[in-house]
């Protein structure tokens, strides 16, 4: 008797229409992603209504391809999983509606997954040997969370951003220095040619909350630097500005995560989320963890950005606990991890 658990997962929280088939929470049988970057690049950022309409156009094709690539049919599946939040409400509704319809038509269990938990779980795919507990930093366009992963599906939030998420700051700064959208990869590439110490931007601390983050002051410092230079008729190298901004972000992210690992006594540090694809951040974490003899885990860039495989991995552990959603499941744009 085959006891393998095959989960079809759907992810539509922002501007990627994604679906995957994941076996036993760790083995990816297919992982299909339709990105909308070219569409939203015209507007300098994600336009929610356009994102929702594009999801509607693509969702059936993406799900069908995920099943085909996996060599699976609905009768082979154990459950249907979907991101129910957080994210853009219209975008989420497309994925949730698709998953509910498929679960109803096939009489399969429905599993709702928190998008942030999905990012954490991408590491279980990349590193089959990884087991909780560990410290995880989730850094994306919408979230910056420092989390103690106590066990599968069990978390303690110990730090979060008080204002802009790190990825949001990347996008805003990239736009201000003329790099365009998406800001994260463009700043990463531009910064390679710059001096990270050309400008001494603030590395913000939050009084009384040692693991919280704040990036609005840093963003303002970059904008003020540009404004003051313009007033004086001076020219600033975008590469130096990008490198200095990135250095400040990476420094505070690394320092907070290392401090948490030391205080909580964990020997594994995990990085997740779209900004985890940033080469400077990955290098900073790898170097710091090696120096302190900590295990460092970070998925490849293809699993850092939004994808269905990470949702399937997270759903597997909900499946084992028998945590299934009702067909009345709705999108929850402000869903909390804890």
Q: Give the mean pLDDT of 144-150.
A: 97
Q: Which two tokens stand for residue 338?
A: 């804890």
Residue 200 to residue 214: CA distance in whole angstroms: 16
User: What are the pLDDT digits (tens) for 160-182?
Assistant: 999 999 999 999 999 999 999 99
Residue 176 to residue 195: CA distance in whole angstroms: 18
pTM as predicted: 0.95
The DSSP string of 54-100 is HHHHHHHHHHHHHHHHHT--GGG-SEEEEEEESS-HHHHHHHHHHHH
Q: Which pLDDT does position 234 carry in this prediction?
A: 92
User: What are the pLDDT digits (tens) for 85-117?
Assistant: 999 999 999 999 999 999 999 999 999 999 999
Residue 1 pLDDT > 60: no
- Of the pLDDT bands very low, low, confident and very high (cuts 50, 70, 90), residue 139 is very high
Q: Which pLDDT does position 205 carry in this prediction?
A: 84
Alpha-carbon radius of gyration of the chain: 20
Ordered domains of the chain (ranges, CATH): 6-120+304-320 (3.30.420.40), 132-298 (3.30.420.40)
Q: Which pLDDT does position 225 carry in this prediction?
A: 95
Q: Give the mean pLDDT of 305-318.
A: 98
135 in Cβ contact with 268 (< 8 Å): yes
User: What are the pLDDT digits (tens) for 24-35?
Assistant: 999 999 999 999
Computed over every residue of the chain, the mean pLDDT equals: 96
Residue 338 to residue 321: CA distance in whole angstroms: 17
For residue 320, the Cα-to-chain-centroid distance in whole angstroms is 24
Residue 152 pLDDT > 60: yes
Give how far Cα 291 sits from Cα of 53, 132, 258, 284, 285, Å. 48, 22, 11, 11, 10
- Of the pLDDT bands very low, low, confident and very high (cuts 50, 70, 90), residue 248 is very high
Give how far Cα 207 sits from Cα of 147, 210, 212, Å. 19, 7, 9
- Of the pLDDT bands very low, low, confident and very high (cuts 50, 70, 90), residue 204 is confident
- Of the pLDDT bands very low, low, confident and very high (cuts 50, 70, 90), residue 207 is confident
Residue 23 to residue 76: CA distance in whole angstroms: 11
User: What are the pLDDT digits (tens) for 233-244?
Assistant: 999 999 999 999
318 in Cβ contact with 113 (< 8 Å): yes
φ, ψ dihedrals at 267, nearest 5° = -105, 10
User: What are the pLDDT digits (tens) for 183-203?
Assistant: 999 999 999 999 999 999 998
């Amino acid at each position: 008797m085959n006891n393998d658990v095959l989960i079809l997962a759907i992810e539509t929280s922002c501007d990627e229409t994604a679906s995957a088939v994941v076996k036993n929470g760790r083995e990816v049988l297919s992982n299909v992603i339709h990105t909308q970057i070219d569409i939203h690049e015209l507007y300098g950022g994600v336009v929610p209504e356009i994102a929702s309409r594009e999801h509607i156009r693509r969702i059936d094709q993406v799900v069908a391809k995920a099943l085909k690539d996996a060599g699976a049919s609905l009768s082979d599946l154990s459950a249907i999983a979907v991101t129910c939040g957080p994210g853009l409400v219209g975008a989420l509704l497309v994925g949730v509606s698709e998953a509910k319809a498929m679960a109803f038509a096939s009489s399969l269990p429905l599993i709702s997954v928190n998008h942030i938990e999905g990012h954490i779980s991408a590491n279980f795919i990349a590193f089959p040997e990884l087991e909780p507990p560990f410290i995880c930093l989730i850094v994306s366009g919408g979230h910056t969370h420092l989390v103690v992963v106590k066990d599968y599906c069990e978390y303690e939030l110990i730090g979060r951003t008080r204002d802009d998420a790190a990825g949001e700051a990347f996008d805003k700064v990239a736009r201000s220095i003329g790099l365009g959208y998406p800001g994260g990869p463009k700043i990463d590439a531009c910064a390679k040619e710059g001096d990270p110490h050309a400008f001494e931007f603030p590395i913000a601390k939050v009084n009384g909350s040692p693991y919280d983050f704040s990036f609005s002051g840093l963003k303002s410092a970059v904008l003020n630097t540009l404004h003051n230079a313009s007033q004086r008729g001076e020219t600033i190298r975008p590469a130096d500005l990008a490198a200095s901004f990135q250095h400040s972000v990476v420094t505070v992210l690394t320092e907070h995560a290392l401090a948490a690992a030391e205080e909580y006594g964990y020997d594994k540090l995990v990085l997740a989320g779209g900004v985890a694809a940033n080469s400077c951040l990955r290098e900073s974490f790898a170097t710091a963890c090696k120096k302190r003899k900590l295990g460092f885990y970070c998925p490849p860039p293809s699993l850092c950005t939004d994808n269905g495989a990470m949702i399937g991995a997270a759903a597997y552990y909900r499946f084992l606990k028998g945590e299934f959603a009702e067909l009345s499941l709705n999108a929850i744009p402000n869903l909390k991890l804890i």
